[in-house]
A = this chain, B = another copy of it.
Amino acid sequence: MVTDAHQIFNDFIKGAGLRGTEQRALILDTFLNTDEHVSVDDLFGMVKLENKKIGYATVHRTMKLITESGLAREVVFNDGIARFEHTLDTGHHHHFVCKSCDAVIEFNSDAVDAEEKRLAKAYGFEVQSHHFKIYGICKECRRKKRT
């Protein structure tokens, strides 16, 4: 079974009684071609290169749909701007955010995941999602500072 992202999205759209449109396809494609954590604004800029008439609200609403379909996850860093990241092929992961250069470094940690499970059990909490962000100065910036 091929679980292509487009297929997942289309299934979600149809399942919800919604309609497939050119704009939604374009926005999904654009999002799928990103690597970084993109904001609605970023995507809006990219999408406009292909379709100058598309509106900001459409991008915003479509990203909400993509998130609901399970293809994206919303992340908010300290600047308060919502960004989206892929969920496919990128299991649970966390973020280092460099306060100097704004770089975002993703990392995985079985230890954190295991500890989360332990804690959830201890507190009787049902986990739906989590965000672990570490803010600081990255290797590169520390090197630059030293010189």
Contacts and interface: CB of A to CB of B under 8 A. Distances in A.
A79 to B, nearest CB: 10
Given A135-B128, A136-B129, A115 B123 contact: no
A133 interface: yes
A134 B138 contact: no
Contacts of A139: 123-125
A25 interface: no
Interface residues of A, number: 35
A96 to B, nearest CB: 5
Interface string A88-119: 00000000101100000101010110011011
A127 interface: yes
Interface of A: 76, 78, 80, 82, 96, 98-99, 105, 107, 109, 111-112, 115-116, 118-120, 123-139, 142
